[in-house]
Structure 1
Amino acid sequence: MNLIYKNEKTLFRIMLALSLLIWAALVIGTLGMALVYVLLFFVSYCFAQSALVSYIRGTGVQITPAQFPDLHQRIESCCQRLGLEEMPDAYLLQMGGSFNAFATRFFGTNFIVLYSDVVDALEERPDAINFYIGHEIGHLTRQHLRWSALLAPAAWLPLLGAAYARAREYTCDRHGFHACDDLKSAQVGLAALAAGGKRWRQLSASNYSAQAQYSSGFWMSFHELVGDYPWLVKRMAAVRGLAQGNEVTQPGRHGLAYLLALLVPRLGVGGAGSVLGLVVLIGVLAAVAIPAYGDYTAKARMAQAVVVGHEATAAVERYFYANGRGPATLEAAGYAMDDPNHAVQDITVDAGNGMVRVFPADLNYRGKAIAFTPRVDENKRVVWQCASADIPERVLPAECRN
């Protein structure tokens, strides 16, 4: 049996390619500033992850050969069966009735946490506990946790990020199935997730799987497309198919749901990692957007200042044609500044060579000038050249760039 879900590798390659492109664009576009935000995110992530690991170690019960040897033996056996060479640190945690398990990683150490309620609920079917153990080992063997940081930029993309997350869950369900000795134990594990610690015994896996037919409707399709987990009824149907040696064809999704889901970025399923990830994404985008917006507004103000400069050069040019020399002042040339947008702080003319200097009002460029230099061409006509030695060309109009 192939332990990797059919779409995971393809989605991973797409995610990796897009993430590398986005990382490169962010680093180049922000002149390396994005790396500062990444560093801040990493520090914040370390604090958040350290809090989680500290809670696990300070509250949970470590599963060892001396402490819960039956669970330790199961975890060791699942690791051998699924090809995980180094056994992760394992803990049993009481979570107030929640049925689940999770894997995490902190500074090179892998952790598996089993919730006590699911272990207690399956006491009479302990092989079903292997499904939970195997599922989390799947995350470790597939290195989902290691790749998450590199894939982070593409993980936020609509449809794609959630699709990859769901593919990982199907892959890990396959690992959980393979970790069980009894082919029906994986179904029991999912039944406990669906019906709880007592009612799972009466749950009909076939009837529950049949509920997947409702998932093709618009709203169920939409909410699955924007979510990180497949509907549990679909997971049950997939596991039942594996037990029967078949690959289940899941019901199709509503076409219009894809259009709506395309407008919803993936934000993950919660926790400090999602919040911190959102913060760093906003920070990185701000590192790109704020300078770009600053340049955009500066360009607009410079264009207005150049318009004022053209009006001044026209007055100087008329004075030259009438008098054969440049004016001593702009007032002498009959020029009065008309600047309704307040784009110019000051404007002057050099009596010696007729150069007009426009000083923009933009606070970032106070004291710096746009120079309009005149020359007389072969036809005895005045030609003006616009340039600036102090103001960056990227914010100047095209006519004022060298």
Structure 2
Amino acid sequence: MELIYKNERTLFGWMLAISLLIWLGLIVGTVGVALVYLLLFFVAYCFAQSALISYLKGTAVKITWQQFPDLKERIDQSCQRLGLEQVPDAYLLQMGGAFNAFATRFLGTNFIVLYSDVVDALESKPDAINFYIGHELGHIKRNHLRWSALLMPASVIPLLGAAYARAREYTCDRHGFHACDDLKSAQLGLAALAAGGKRWRQMNVAHYSAQAAETSGFWMSFHELVSDYPWLVKRMAVMRSLAQGSEVKQPGRNGLAYVLALFIPRLGAGGAGALISVVAVVGVLAAVAIPAYQDYTSKARVAQAVSVGRDASAKVEHFFYANGSGPATLEQAGFALADPGHAVQDVRVDPDNGVVRVFPADPALRGNSIAFTPRIDDNKRVAWRCGSDDIPSKLLPADCRDN
């Protein structure tokens, strides 16, 4: 069985090439200043990573031949089976009911951490624990931890970074599968992740695997494309196929989901990562929706202001016909402002030329005006031209533009 997922090498090649180009561009473009920042970043990383390692050593239980020898034996056997010469330091950590495990690296030393709830849940099927052990050893065997810093520039690229992260997970699942004595044990390990410490025993693995057919819709496709992890039902389908000596054909993804995912940089998945992805999506949508909504509301308020201006100009026109001249004020023309929507800040008339000016109340348009300019047409009738030199034409009604 091939332990490396089919796409991982190709994606790694793209990630490496792009990252090297970006690093080179940064170093050349900043005349080496970027190296100083890289050094500072490395120092900050060491402090952060040292906090994790210190927490493990000060809180978790180190797995040795004296402490949990059954787990130590499984770890050593898994390393031998996967061809890993140096056995990493291993710890058992209580995480308040969380089901997981992880691998990490600090100053040249590899670590794997098993969560106690996983070990307890699978006590009756200890071979399934090998799946978790083998999965984390896969990260070490494939040097995922060593390459992560170099590949960092390309890791944030939409689609690419997340695709490589998912490929690594599929690869590590294969390592976990290979570490098991029973071909079905890997499925039990995933079942515990899905259903929890007790219910996994009653879970129908075949039916759960069949849920993978439901992952081809737009939203499920999109959220997987921006995630570091494949859907668990897909991982289960792969493990079932490997146990049967075949390769599964996963359902395709929605094409439009790829388009939206192009706008989402890779930010991880699960917990805060999922939240950040949601925030990023909202940000993209808001960048389009908020200006559009603001234009819509501004147009509506400007249209109300134009309506007020037409009422005022009609009163001025009526006064002109009755008196042969324009009014000194709008009150003299019999105009009383009726503006229940508070769209208008002020309305004025120029007694010298009869021009009516309406000042919208919209804060973004404060101080600007819409002018209703009268003229006498060929039939000796008053005609009005509506327009504004201050307000963008896109906010004005069609008959107030370029008249």
| TM-score scaled by length of structure 2 | 0.67
Aligned to 1:146: 146
Taking the aligned partners of 1:11 and 1:89, their CA distance within structure 2 comes to 29
Quote the offset at 1:40 in angstroms.
Answer: 1.4
Deviations 1:182-201 (A, max 9, x none): 00000000000000000000
Query: Which aligned pairs between 1:83-102 and structure 2 lie closer than 5 A?
Result: 83-102=83-102
- Secondary structure (helix, strand or coil) at the match of 1:163 reads helix
Deviations 1:271-297 (A, max 9, x none): 9999xxxxxxxxxxxxxxxxxxxxxxx
Aligned to 2:25: 25
Confirm whether residue 180 of structure 1 aligns to residue 180 of structure 2.
yes
Quote the offset at 1:269 in angstroms.
Answer: 3.9
Quote the offset at 1:101 in angstroms.
Answer: 0.4
Taking the aligned partners of 1:255 and 1:236, their CA distance within structure 2 comes to 24
Give yes or no for contact 1:45–1:273 (8 Å, CA) kept in 2. no
Confirm whether residue 209 of structure 1 aligns to residue 209 of structure 2.
yes
- Secondary structure (helix, strand or coil) at the match of 2:202 reads coil
Taking the aligned partners of 1:129 and 1:197, their CA distance within structure 2 comes to 13
Quote the offset at 1:268 in angstroms.
Answer: 2.3
Taking the aligned partners of 1:140 and 1:272, their CA distance within structure 2 comes to 25
- Secondary structure (helix, strand or coil) at the match of 1:104 reads strand
The letter for the 2-side match of 1:63 is I
Deviates more, 1:158-167 or 1:263-272: 263-272
Aligned to 2:285: none
Deviates more, 1:23-32 or 1:214-223: 23-32
Aligned to 1:111: 111
Q: Count matched residues.
A: 274
Query: Which aligned pairs between 1:347-358 and structure 2 lie closer than 5 A?
Result: none
The letter for the 2-side match of 1:93 is L
Deviations 1:13-52 (A, max 9, x none): 0100000011111111111121122111111110110000
Aligned to 1:47: 47
Taking the aligned partners of 1:30 and 1:215, their CA distance within structure 2 comes to 45
The letter for the 2-side match of 1:254 is N
Identity over aligned residues, as a percent? 78
Aligned to 2:66: 66
Give yes or no for contact 2:103–2:136 (8 Å, CA) kept in 1. yes
Moved over 6 A (4+): 270-274
Quote the offset at 1:226 in angstroms.
Answer: 0.3
Give yes or no for contact 1:216–1:252 (8 Å, CA) kept in 2. yes
Give yes or no for contact 2:267–2:273 (8 Å, CA) kept in 1. no
Quote the offset at 1:270 in angstroms.
Answer: 7.7
Aligned to 2:246: 246
Deviations 1:109-138 (A, max 9, x none): 100100000000000000000000000000
The letter for the 2-side match of 1:14 is W
Give yes or no for contact 1:48–1:273 (8 Å, CA) kept in 2. no
The letter for the 2-side match of 1:2 is E
Query: Which aligned pairs between 1:280-295 and structure 2 lie closer than 5 A?
Result: none
Deviations 1:197-249 (A, max 9, x none): 00000111110011111110000000000000000000000000100011101
Taking the aligned partners of 1:269 and 1:152, their CA distance within structure 2 comes to 16
Taking the aligned partners of 2:273 and 2:207, their CA distance within structure 1 comes to 37
Taking the aligned partners of 2:81 and 2:233, their CA distance within structure 1 comes to 27
Give yes or no for contact 1:64–1:72 (8 Å, CA) kept in 2. yes
Residues 12 and 105 of structure 1: CA distance in aligned 2, closer, same or farther (over 3 Å): same
Taking the aligned partners of 1:15 and 1:144, their CA distance within structure 2 comes to 12
Confirm whether residue 193 of structure 1 aligns to residue 197 of structure 2.
no
Quote the offset at 1:99 in angstroms.
Answer: 0.5
- Secondary structure (helix, strand or coil) at the match of 1:197 reads coil
- Secondary structure (helix, strand or coil) at the match of 1:190 reads helix
Taking the aligned partners of 2:211 and 2:272, their CA distance within structure 1 comes to 33
The letter for the 2-side match of 1:139 is H
- Secondary structure (helix, strand or coil) at the match of 1:193 reads helix
Aligned to 2:222: 222
Residues 204 and 273 of structure 1: CA distance in aligned 2, closer, same or farther (over 3 Å): closer
Q: Which has the higher contact order (CA 8 A, sep 6+)?
A: 1
Confirm whether residue 34 of structure 1 aligns to residue 66 of structure 2.
no
Taking the aligned partners of 2:36 and 2:196, their CA distance within structure 1 comes to 46
Give yes or no for contact 2:121–2:197 (8 Å, CA) kept in 1. yes
- Secondary structure (helix, strand or coil) at the match of 2:111 reads strand
Aligned to 1:255: 255
Deviations 1:49-104 (A, max 9, x none): 00000000100000000100000000000000000001000000000000010000
